[in-house]
């Protein structure tokens, strides 16, 4: 049986402008791989309501899980929660359990839970809260969409909260064979290998060191014995 699939939606003008480098995709891909969920697609959209809503709908219909990052803070441009609610035609308002979490946090720090901070307690009807042990303000899950903060430390904590409750499959395994030849020299054997081992993913990633061309051939799949067989055959064919 095939592994469950996932997509990620990265939200924020700061990512598209180059001002901020996204670190969350790399982390999520690694964690999903361990859990046996295949990350199939990543989209980056601006802080524009129509773009967020359109992307969420499309990704939710195409994949078993969708993870979003960014746009659930206290400022005017944090519009993700409202967009998700509209995408699923669901009302959104301040929810008492989310408010209570924030109230306790700000009471403890001696700060006011003002109107701006209270925006982080606005949750679509029917959604489940995602625990946030770092800064308390929760994310939420509605249908198959998991809505999370963009700050990497908070995003990672939310992923850790969500993953144990998701159905996984077989973890993705991989082996790498370093070949000190150009891709043009190994394309034929690689093509034949890919045909004969169609259950595996076989990729070639070229490099150049001191003027010498080579390629790292990466063989991926969920069957360790099959990966071993493919790598052994390729090494033999290339006299490695």
pLDDT at residue 164 above 90? yes
Q: How far is Cα 6 from Cα 38, in angstroms, rounded to an integer?
A: 6
Q: Do 132 and 113 contact (CB within 8 A), yes or no?
A: no
pLDDT at residue 1 above 80? no
pLDDT at residue 203 above 90? yes
pLDDT confidence of residue 107 = 94
What DSSP assignment string belongs to 21-41? ---HHHHHHHHHHHHT-EEEE
Ordered domains of the chain (ranges, CATH): 5-165 (3.40.980.10), 173-237 (3.30.70.600)
Average pLDDT of the chain is 95
pLDDT (tens digit per residue) in 45-94? 999 999 999 999 999 999 999 999 999 999 998 999 999 999 999 999 99
Q: How far is Cα 11 from Cα 83, in angstroms, rounded to an integer?
A: 11
Q: Do 219 and 227 contact (CB within 8 A), yes or no?
A: yes
pLDDT confidence of residue 82 = 97
Task: Provide the 3-class DSSP secondary structure of residue 79.
Answer: coil
């Amino acid at each position: 049986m095939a592994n469950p699939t996932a997509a990620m939606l990265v939200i924020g003008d700061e990512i598209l402008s180059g001002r901020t480098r996204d670190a969350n995709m790399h982390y999520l891909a690694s964690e999903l791989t361990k859990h046996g969920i295949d990350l199939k697609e990543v989209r980056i959209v601006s802080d524009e309501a129509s773009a967020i809503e359109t992307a969420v709908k499309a990704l939710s219909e195409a994949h078993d899980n969708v993870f979003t990052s960014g746009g659930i803070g206290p400022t005017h441009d944090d519009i993700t929660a409202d967009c998700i609610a509209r995408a699923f035609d669901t009302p959104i308002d301040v929810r008492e359990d989310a408010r209570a979490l924030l109230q306790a946090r700000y009471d403890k720090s001696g700060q006011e839970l003002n109107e701006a901070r209270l925006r982080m307690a606005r949750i679509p009807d029917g959604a489940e809260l995602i625990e946030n042990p770092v800064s308390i303000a929760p994310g939420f899950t509605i249908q198959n969409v998991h809505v999370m903060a963009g700050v990497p430390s908070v995003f990672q904590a939310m992923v850790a909260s969500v993953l144990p409750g998701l159905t996984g499959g077989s973890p993705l395994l991989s082996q790498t064979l370093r070949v000190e030849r150009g891709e043009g020299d190994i394309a034929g054997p690689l093509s034949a290998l890919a045909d004969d081992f169609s259950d595996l993913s076989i990729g070639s990633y070229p490099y150049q060191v001191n003027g010498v061309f080579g390629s790292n051939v990466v063989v991926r799949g969920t069957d360790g014995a099959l990966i071993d067989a493919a790598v052994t055959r390729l090494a033999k064919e290339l006299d490695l």
